[in-house]
Amino acid sequence: MGQSITVTVNGEKKTAEVEPRLLLVHFLREKLRLTGTHIGCDTTHCGACTVLVDGTPVKSCTMLAVQADGQQVTTVEALAASGTLHPVQAAFKQEHGLQCGFCTPGMMLTGVALLQEKPDPTDDEIRWALSGNICRCTGYMNIVKAVKSAAAQMKASAAVPEAATASARS
Amino acid sequence: MAVETPLKGNIGDSIKRKEDDRFIRGRGNYLDDIVLPGMLYMAIHRSPFAHARIKSINTDAAQAVPGVVAVVTGALLAQHKLAWMPTLSGDTQAVLATDKVRFQGQEVACVIATDPYVARDAAMLVEVDYDVLPAVVTPQQALQPDAPLIRDEKEGQTSNHIYHWEAGDKAKTDEAFAKADRVVKLDTFYPRCHPSPLETCGIVADVNSATGHATLYMTSQAPHAHRTLFAIVAGLPEQNIRIISPDIGGGFGNKVPIYPGYVVATAASLLIGKPVKWVEDRSENLISTGFARDFHMSGEMALRNDGRMLGLRVKLLSDNGAFYADAQPTKFKAGLFHIVTGSYDVAAAHVEADGAYTNKAPGGVAYRCSFRVTEASYLIERLVESAALEMNLDPADIRLKNFIQPEQFPYMSATGFEYDSGNYPKAMQLALDKLGYKELRKEQAEKRKKGELMGIGVASFTEVVGAGPGKHYDIAGLRMFDSAELRVHPTGKAILKLGVKSQGQGHETTFAQIVTEELGIPAADIEVQEGDTDNTPYGLGTYASRSTPVGGAATAMVSRKLRDKAKKIAAHLLEASEADIEFDHGKFFVRGSPSKSKTIQDVAFAAYTNLPDGMEAGLEGVTYYDPPNMTFPFGTYLVVVDIDRGTGQVKVRRMVAVDDCGVRINPMIVEGQLHGGLTEGFGIAFMQLITFDEEGNCLGSNFTDYLLPTAWETPKFEMGETVTPSPHHPIGAKGVGESATVGSPAAFVNAVIDAVGHLGIKNIDMPVTSDKVWTALKEAGGAE
């Protein structure tokens, strides 16, 4: 009844026997104990479970673990893997883009994917990109600000890598 | 980038939040993240019907599923006297249904299994034979003489009527109406909505069968009160119960009640001897846990021809669902709805409230609101709008004419509240100036000539928060004080333990800042702990914007208690008389010679190493704070909308929000709270609706049907502030978490009515959807 899958999660190859019906989010949370990915609605609406699959934001509550076989999955735990906060993480703190923190991992990953595609997005582009991620606490204003400020930070660090790394650490 | 001087964290400093470091790394610890060895999983079988008699329950098929450990029914719970439990409003609620189901989604049986998927599979295999009964889905139906009796199990209950409650002075109000030039009326329905925190409710119950100790990890906004209620409900000795409320993914009132799932999981863990986890899915959260509002309100306002208000008369009918489970202070049957005179100097007011049972989920929680204050604020602000419209007065002018004036504080309202402080004209004027009100009125007039629909909504709310003085406010008999315990360690670092519990409000930062202000210890050196009943002092929890007014006051008071002791130690260290010691920002010095000083850190060390003779060691203390009064935050919200005549679509062009919550401890956090509250107000005004068909099927049982605002439609807010400190709060703060949700729905709806009122449209009940607006326009001949 189990099916063998190999998923590269945050850069590490993970092989497991899973039930075909096992949701990707449960694979990550229960099997790998990566609990930074949250479950908010079960129906793809809220985005708390957003992870990146091959770089694209995906709601892991409506994707089966077996569908991720052979793919690269990135969760929030990978964002500061090197010990330094990703500019999006630093900006969420700096701009007060989070309150209860439950939507934050999904929100940040969507932001990261957006900035990869569009390094200099407008407010409307940010709002549109984040519209599949619900936040009940912040009213989004500071989240939009955070993504924008991360964009500026990333741009600056691309220009002067060392200075930006130092300030992201502060 | 310029290097910023790190802020110490005094009051008024927008320091970054201490709690963020774990959240941005995905290292929060929410309920569902908790895994205990040998843990079992629970799933609930729920009623598909709103009203039905249970003929039989067959659990054989469920029991037979491999991995199922137990199936719990009401009959089993009844053997342990646990089939029913008390509610927070003195009623009873079924834990698992034994006789009838009374709302769709009611808990009927629970399956405990080794795997969550198995538990769910098996829960679907529980077979229940029902006799379906007619469902009652409105309070008006419920109070018909021939309505089916919902609570037939309650002795002496002969109708669906729950309570009748009054506030104010009827005779004086009748007199005011007799003298009035005009009476303006408004019937409005504040529909049922749901707080829907992004994290649903859940528990991990771990009862040690050897010791009888129960450790309950719960999504609880009020862990201490829950411990006591658990002791009473389950008959467990209170010293054996430890409730740990971990990081909470939003609460908004939804995590105040005790839910059947908590009780069953605890009972199951006790009976089986293993930890049991139960986490709701979203549909379960929406259909069974604490809803909000569902108030049918009729307001009448007596006025003079010049727009001066003379009296207010309100009748309200509350839909409480199948069990009267409102989370509210005992003495107030409709919460604090009688704050309904709002920001206005109204000499006479009378409120009559009735509640009714229906075949809908119980709840009546204070959704980002201090016990029905939102409903009250909505009604008065909509009623003032009606008066302005009918009397052809400017909505801002009529408010300015009737505001309680700054010199009238403390102000005793006609329904018995003593407002602590306020300056309503100042907040409104700031909002009007920020918006450019006059220019927009001109624009509106121009647009109207062209047939375009533009509206400016005004709302000037006053809240009553921070419950509350123990002599008036209690929940289930527990007085609504709150507490703070502060321990300053020898190295001058501190730990602060609180009876309240953050759900995202940033307590770890804000409360540290109060200690910083009072003792001078940098906020970075203060660890704030909450939520573990074994390790924090007793408190009533976080809801009704009470953490800062009550827990914050306790924090200031305990800091001052420690400061008094520290002063004695400083005198000893400085070889001076205590009377000559002064304190300023973390330094004790001898009056007149500031160079001779000791820091709070020096003093803390001495508290453990070098004390005056006869003094107890240590620098620790605890304070239980019973506030002398409630606090009354206020503000003015202005909204500009444009409406498409062809589709009825309302576009919020601008929103200006001026808030006065007294002294702001961390302005960044305060503003964040307001943004969130405004967004929820926007959601309630335009989107969020829990409704039912005539059979009692819930039509808002998932996020496809229950719409929440996303980043795309949420307006951008323009913020403003005035500061009128609370005179009785130790640091002058008032509480802010709910102001925006209380005040903003009326501003949004008033903007719509302001746009279409001239066509004869006087009211559109929330949520103000495009189809409702279009239909109203069509009926008024104003649609394209």
* Domain-embedded: residue B456: yes
* Coil, helix or strand at residue B427: helix
Residue A21 forms contact with B (CB below 8 Å): yes
Please, which residues bridge with residue B720 across strands? Answer: B658
**Residue ending a domain, choose from B625, B652, B680:** B625
Determine whether the interchain pair B702/A43 forms a contact, defined as Cβ–Cβ distance below 8 Å. yes
Q: Could you give the number of structural domains in chain B?
A: 3
Helices marked H in B235-317: 260-272, 282-288
User: Quick one: CA dihedral B102, B104, B106, B109, positive or negative?
Assistant: positive
B221 is known as an active-site residue: yes
CB contact under 8 A, B23 and A101: yes
- The answer as to whether B152 is a domain residue is no
Binary contact (A140, B675; C-beta < 8 A): yes
3-state secondary structure of B44: strand
Is the pLDDT reported for residue A161 higher than 70? no
The verdict on A46 and A101 lying in the same domain is no
Catalytic residue among B17, B102, B151, B368: B368
B614 with B636, same domain: the answer is: no
Chain A contact probe: residue of B15, B23, B666 with most A CBs at under 10 A: B23
Domain count, chain A: 2
A41-60 mean pLDDT: 97
Q: How far apart are CA B666 and CA A97, in angstroms?
A: 15
How far CA B282 is from CA of A135, B261, B674, in Å, comes to 15, 14, 26
How far apart (Å, rounded) are the C-alpha atoms in residues B670 and B655?
Answer: 17
Given a cut of 80, is residue A53 above it in pLDDT? Answer: yes
B759 in the Ramachandran plot: left (φ > 0), alpha (ψ -120 to 50) or beta? alpha
Whether residues B621 and B635 share a domain: the answer is: no
Interface check B654 vs A, CB under 8 A: no
- Residue B17 at interface with chain A, using a CB cutoff of 8 Å: yes
Give me the sign of the Cα torsion angle B596, B602, B604, B608: negative
In the numeric block, which tokens belong to residue B296?
Answer: 């049918």
Question: Are B211 and B276 part of one and the same domain?
Answer: yes
Provide the whole-model pTM. 0.97
Q: Select from A30, A61, A78 the last residue of a domain.
A: A78
- Let me know the angle formed at the C-alpha of B223 by B218 and B229, rounded to the nearest 5 degrees: 100
Whether B634 is covered by a domain: the verdict is yes
Return all residues near B230 (Cβ < 8 A) that are at least 6 apart: B214, B216, B236, B241, B243, B258, B266
C-alpha to C-alpha distance for B385 and B399, rounded to whole angstroms: 9
- Cα–Cα distance list, B92 to B40, B153, B166, B273, B362 (Å): 28, 10, 23, 28, 11
- Give pLDDT, residue B1: 42
Shared domain for B402 and B437, answered yes or no, is: yes
B612, two tokens: 């005056």
d(CA B699, CA B193): 11
Comparing CB atoms, the residue among B283, B504, B712 nearest residue A99 is: B504
Distance CA A112, CA A119 (A): 10
In this prediction, the residues of chain B whose per-residue pLDDT falls under 50 are 1-2
Whether residues A157 and A105 share a domain: the answer is: yes
Is there a single domain that holds both residue A61 and residue A113? no
pLDDT digits (tens, 9 = 90+) for B377-395: 999 999 999 999 999 999 9
Domain boundary (B625, B659, B693) is at B625
Q: Report residue A94 as tokens.
A: 């700096």
Residues 6+ apart with CB under 8 A from B380: B299, B312, B340, B341, B342, B344
- Total length of chain B: 784
For residue A158, give every residue at least 6 positions away whose Cβ sits within 8 Å of its Cβ, in sequence order, or none: A164
The answer to whether residue B649 is domain-embedded is yes
Tokens read off for B557? 């008071």
- B452 and B519 co-located in one domain: no
Q: Is B595 part of any domain?
A: yes
| CA distance to partner chain A, nearest, from residue B118 (Å) | 12
CATH of the domain at B598: 3.30.365.10
Does residue B619 share a domain with residue B636? no
Unique residue bearing structure tokens 């205590």 = B578
In angstroms, the CA B270 to CA B112 distance is 12
The verdict on whether B368 is a catalytic residue reads yes
Cα B127 to Cα A76: distance, rounded to the nearest angstrom: 42
Grouping H, G, I as helix, E, B as strand and the rest as coil, residue B140 is helix
Is there a single domain that holds both residue B546 and residue B571? yes
The one catalytic residue among B93, B106, B141, B221: B221
Whether residue A52 is found in the same domain as residue A110: no
Q: Domain boundary residue among B596, B625, B654? A: B625
Angstrom CA distances, B237 to A119, B76, B220, B230, B767, stand at: 59, 22, 20, 9, 46
Tell me: do B612 and B646 sit in the same domain: no
Tell whether B496 and B567 lie within a shared domain. Answer: yes
Q: Is residue A93 located within the same domain as residue A165?
A: yes
Strands (E), B506-613: 526-530, 581-584, 587-590, 593-599
Q: List, as ranges, residues 29-48 from A with C-beta within 8 Å of B.
A: 29, 33-43, 45-46, 48
* pLDDT reported for residue B784: 78
Active-site entry in B110, B201, B369, B698:
B369
Range of the domain at B505: 482-625
- Tell me which chain B residues have a C-beta less than 8 angstroms from the C-beta of A127: 711-712, 714
Q: Describe chain A by its helix, strand, coil percentages, rounded to 5.
A: 45, 15, 40
Question: For residue B83, which amino acid is it?
Answer: A
Same domain as B767, residue B683: yes
Shortest distance between the Cα of B92 and any Cα of chain A, in A, equals 30
A68 and A92 co-located in one domain: no
Share of chain A above pLDDT 90, in %: 89
If asked whether residues B636 and B621 sit together in one domain, one would say: no
Asked if residue A74 and residue A95 are part of one domain, the reply reads: no
B117 touches A: beta carbon within 8 Å: yes
> How many Cβ atoms from other residues are within 10 Å of residue B16's Cβ?
18
Whether B117 is covered by a domain: the verdict is yes
Instruction: Tell me which residue range forms the domain holding A152.
Output: 87-169
What's B137's DSSP letter?
-
| Residue B324 included in any domain | no
Q: Is A84 on the interface with B (CB under 8 A)?
A: no
Cβ-Cβ contacts under 8 Å for B705 (sequence gap 6 or more): B699
Q: ipTM of the assembly?
A: 0.97
Residue B176 lies in a domain: no
Q: What is the pLDDT of residue A164?
A: 44
Question: Residue A129: pLDDT above 60?
Answer: yes
Contact state of A105 with B282 under an 8 Å Cβ cutoff: no
Boundary of a domain, candidates A53, A78, A103: A78
The answer to whether residue A166 neighbours chain B at the CB level (below 8 Å) is no
Whether B531 and B660 share a structural domain: no
Return the sign of the alpha-carbon dihedral for residues A48, A51, A56, A58: negative
In chain B, residues 218-277 whose CB comes closer than 8 Å to chain A: 247-250, 252
Do A156 and A123 share a structural domain? yes
Each residue's pLDDT tens digit, B717-743: 999 999 999 999 999 999 999 999 999
* CATH number of the domain where residue B119 is located: 3.90.1170.50
Residue B369 annotated as catalytic: yes
Q: Does A24 have pLDDT greater than 50?
A: yes
Residue type, A159: A
Q: Return the CA Rg of chain A.
A: 16
Given A78, A106, A135, which residue is the final one in a domain? A78
Which residue, chain included where needed, has tokens 């009448």? Answer: B300
Nearest to B415 by CA among B326, B468, B342: B342
| Span between the terminal Cα atoms of chain A, in Å | 50
Residue type for position B489: H
Do A67 and A43 belong together in one domain? yes
Tell me if residue B495 falls in helix, strand or coil: strand
- Who contacts B435 (Cβ-Cβ below 8 Å, separation ≥6)? B456, B638, B640, B654, B656, B718
Q: What are phi and psi of B118, to 5 degrees?
A: -65, -40
Question: What is the H or E stretch that residue A167 is in?
Answer: helix A161-169
Residues A93 and A72 in one domain: no
Considering only alpha carbons, which residue of chain B is nearest residue A19?
A: B117
Which CATH number belongs to the domain containing residue A64 in this structure? Answer: 3.10.20.30
* CATH code of the domain covering residue A104: 1.10.150.120
